Structure 1
């Protein structure tokens, strides 16, 4: 009980409710003072009636709320418990409050108590009516609080289910990317072994480095931009082994954005898309530039290449550029994570190539 009292002492909602009850009781006590002064005891001074009403009503309310807090821990009492509260608090509050009022008004206590006994019937009936009304008010407030708590619990449960469903969806989408990239690399490695064994060994070393770098974050919900750029560096190094001098690249990440949280494996598919659809089919190869920057309340990450671009010289679009598994995966993950607050656009680069721009809400 002591531990519970220490906890509830800091329970804001419980004491706010106690304050609401007391303020409501003050209003009811004033109404009772008017009834006593003008109906039950019309000859008594109004101020005396008001003091008696405040003392009796406040004492009854404090005892009733105290029983509810100590016995039912702030919850709703049962019907027998409610009747028990009435049996105890009404007579004790009536005579105890009368004694307190007599002391405050400097009236003879014995004469006051005798007079209260003479007028006990109408006064106790009025107090009983007030207590029943107050109990109904308190009961309804408790029921509303319970319904509100149930609604909050259900809301939290639904939010947890939605988060789990979203995480499962993200892991499924992410799992589609990792085998895709790995199989492509192993296929290239298989062909390279017969032609250039030392280079194949170097490529295998880079693949192992990439897989080790991605292991710590590939199953996590979020990673940092710094780690994501490290993964892209490992991936581009791996691709440089395969393409040789045909591939150059640069990565630009401002220091203030290094700790920005981002879903893992969100940028690598865009780099892979730029190489696969922009540079691989270009005889002389080309360059990939990845730049992260803050634009007001948004974070923009661009992956630009100077490859074949989105369309040929005669205006014919490449059918697979920007529509492959990687780009579709990124768009699905953005939609699941941020809805309309994030986007992925694919535009022509100048003088040639393509730019994929990833826009995320910036929340430092």
Structure 2
């Protein structure tokens, strides 16, 4: 990790390179059109830079949330975006502004919107398997680069994968690093964060987070992209948590109608309870299902060369468990989950995760 970065015990980086501007945002940008997305603590709007006429996405993040100062969380998001600037599949950061109440991230505008929209579209407008293969390669290439830099996203889902264009189908951009963490070789990070449908079993059991945590979410994501159904979504939180902890997945032909058996095998390498037995991003890129469909960007990505010294993944040591459990609510730009088809019923998660004892109680009931 570069000397210029400072990381706390929860894997959050506090020092950034980007200059934070304090002059009025509207002196340099015009806001145009409707909001692109809204969450509990953030709103994303399209803007046009006056000097260049170029479109961007402005993400307005509140610095205080539920009475607490969350500036550190925003600086962490900026630091991760800085570290991923060479990654063509991560949204690029243009500049940053700060007001007394908000920090504004001026980001690349991905005009195609969330892939969520096509995951729940009718058959003639949804993704084909060939589309999913191409987009999956891009997602995995981008995530492999993050993991080589010891970054875990921790909120990979259809709402956080954008498209540069929807018609024709463009390339992907990974967004919303508000929950991301940097992992090093000596510290464990144990937190409950993410979106319930997509979190890995180790999150629910309060075990250490690793790059494998992202890979579970990618397994859920690919399942959704291919079927339009959410594999673990239950009628309530208790059922969803149980489905995840017991890895209750429907791989039947009814769900995967018209989908190749190789695709199902691919998902099975990711939806594995033991994180050490899950496929890595690099493993996935070598899988037969993705063979012969390599995107040209994958060969151009410098971070996918041999990792630099000190960046090799290793098994974390096991210090004493953290005395406190940090509860973090996602402030992502979520579409309504009620649109998602689910074999086990639809349910919209709006509340942050409960504390660890409450989760355990729900799982035992």
TM class by shorter chain equals: under 0.3
Per residue, is there more strand in 1 or in 2?
Answer: 2
Q: TM-score under structure 1 normalisation?
A: 0.25
Larger radius of gyration: 1
Per residue, is there more helix in 1 or in 2?
Answer: 1
Q: TM-score under structure 2 normalisation?
A: 0.25
Larger RCO (alpha carbons 8 Å, 6+ apart): 2
